[in-house]
Amino acid sequence: MHRLAPHRSPIALLTALGLLLGALAATLALSTDARAAERLGKLTLTPTTGSAYDVLDETVTTDAACPAQTTELGLYMVNPANGQVRLMQRAAYTGTGPVNADLPRGSIEVIGWLPGPEFDGVYPLQLHCLKAGENPSTSAAYFSTNIRVAGDTWTVVDAESTTTALTAAPAGTAVLGAEVTLTAAVTPATVAGQVTFGYEKSGTRTELGKVTPTAGTAVLKTTALPQGVVALFATFTPTDPDAHAPSAGSVATYTVTPAPTTTPTDTPTGDPSETPSETPSETPSETPSETPSETGTPTPDPTDTGDTAGTSGGSDTSASGGSSGSGGASGGNGSLAATGTPMAAAALGALSLVLLGAALVIHVRRKGLLTFH
C-alpha cells in the first residue's frame, strides 16, 4: 500500500471552497422577496388634527393586538406618489392585547420630508408592529388610518385604505426591446380610480401610462424600459380621495439586458432567376433540330423550369430550417432565465458537495483508510 505524501494544502483548499459554495447556495436558496404587508386593522390617533409644520405627538390605539414576537412600534407616514415611508414616532412594545400607547414626540415635521412644493392631499399613516431587526419595507403587519394635509393643517380623515401590488412578466429581467407586462392589483377591487405605471432610473422617474382598473386589475404592456437596472412603480389614485386613500406598489429591482447580437444565416449564393434565363436559351437551339427525327419525342418547352424550381424550393427549405433552429436557441435561453435563483442555488450546492467529497477522499486515503486496487 502506497500512502500519499502528507501534503494538506489540497484538502484545505477543497474544503474551504466547498464550504464557501455551500454557504452561497444556502443564501440563494433562502433569499426571498420582501413579504407583502398585511393590514391588521384600523389605527386611531389622538389628537386628530394639528399643524403640518409641526412634529407628531400622538397617542395611538388599535382594534387588535400586534402579532407575537413584536418588540417595537413604528408610526410611519407614506408618500403615495412613490410608496416611500418616513418614521414619525416609535416606541418599544411589550403588550399582548390591542395597542394603547403614548408615543414619544417625533423629530420631523409632518410635511418636512415630502418633495413639495404642493403638499395638499391624503397621506396614509401606518403603525407597524416590528419584530427585532425588521424595518417597514419588510414588515408584514400594520394598522393604518389617513390624514389630509390642506395648507398648514393636517386632519384625520375616514377614507378607507387601499393597497396596490405590482408584478412584472417576465419576472426579474427582460431583454431590451422585449414586451414587459405590468399588472397592478388594487384592493378593494371595487374602488374607482386610475393606476399610473412607470419606472425610475438614476433618480429620474418616467411615466409609462395610465390605466383604469377593471375589477381591481390594471394591465400595461410596454417595450420602453431602458437598458440597465430600474425600479418599477404603480400608483393608484382614487376618484374620491375622501372615501379611499391612494396607494402604491413597486418592483424594487428589474434588470433590462442588452439585446442579443444576431448571427447572419447562411443563404444560397447566386440568383435563382439566372437559371431560367440560361436553360431555355440553349435547349431550344440544339434539341428541337435532332430530337423529332430520331425519337419522336415532343420538343421541350422553353418555359419548362421544373428542375430549376425544385432546386430553388430546396434552398428555401434549408434557409427556413436554419431560422427555426435559431428560434429554438432563443426559447432555451428564456427557460433558463425563468429558472433563476433556484437553479443557481442547486448548481452551487451540487458543486459544494463535489468539492467536499473530493476533500474527504483525499483525506482518508492519506490516513490509509481507503485504497484503490
User: Which helix (H) or strand (E) covers residue 307, if one does?
Assistant: helix 306-339
**60 and 137 share one domain:** yes
**Tell me, what's the pLDDT at 358?**
76
- Three-state SS for 253? strand
Residue 313 within any structural domain of the chain: no
Q: At what angle do helices 306-339 and 341-366 cross, to 10 degrees?
A: 70
Domain assignment of residue 66, given as a range? 38-157
CATH number at 104 reads 2.60.40
143-188 residue pLDDT tens: 989 999 998 999 998 888 899 999 999 999 999 999 999 999 999 9
Same domain, 151 and 42: yes
* Residue 284: inside a domain: no
Calpha distance 128→333 (Å, rounded): 42
Q: Are 221 and 188 in contact (CB under 8 A)?
A: no
pTM for this entry? 0.48
Whether residue 49 is found in the same domain as residue 111: yes
Asked if the model's pLDDT at residue 59 lies above 80, the reply is: yes
The single-letter code of the amino acid at 124 is P
Neighbour-count burial for 246-263, b at 16+ CB within 10 Å, e otherwise: bbbbbbeebebeeeeeee
Asked whether residue 43 is domain-assigned, the answer is yes
- Does residue 228 register a pLDDT over 90? yes
Choice among 78-82, 208-212, 220-224 with the minimum mean pLDDT: 78-82
CA neighbours within 13 Å on the CB side: how many for 138? 9
Do 152 and 183 lie in one domain? The reply is no
- pLDDT tens sequence across 315-351: 443 333 333 333 333 333 333 333 344 455 666 676 7
Q: Which helix (H) or strand (E) holds 293?
A: helix 274-294
- Grid cell of 322 as nine digits: 436554419
- The residue length of the chain stands at 373
Domain count, the chain: 3
Does the pLDDT of residue 257 top 90, yes or no?
A: yes
Domain boundary among 106, 140, 157: 157
Q: Are residues 42 and 147 in the same domain?
A: yes
Q: Please report whether residue 308 resides in a domain.
A: no
Within this chain, do residues 191 and 251 fall inside the same structural domain, yes or no? yes
Last residue of a domain, one of 157, 174, 204: 157
Q: Is the domain of 104 the same as that of 176?
A: no
15 assigned to some structural domain: yes
Higher pLDDT among residues 309 and 117, named by residue = 117
Structural domain includes residue 148? yes
pLDDT at residue number 72: 93
**Residue 215 has what pLDDT?**
96
CA distance 84 to 231: 13
Q: Note whether residue 299 is domain-resident.
A: no
- Among the three residues 96, 126, 157, which one is the final residue of a domain in this structure? 157
3-state helix, strand, coil in the chain (%, to 5): 30, 35, 35
Whether 23 and 71 map to the same domain: the answer is no
Distance, CA of 366 to chain centre: 50
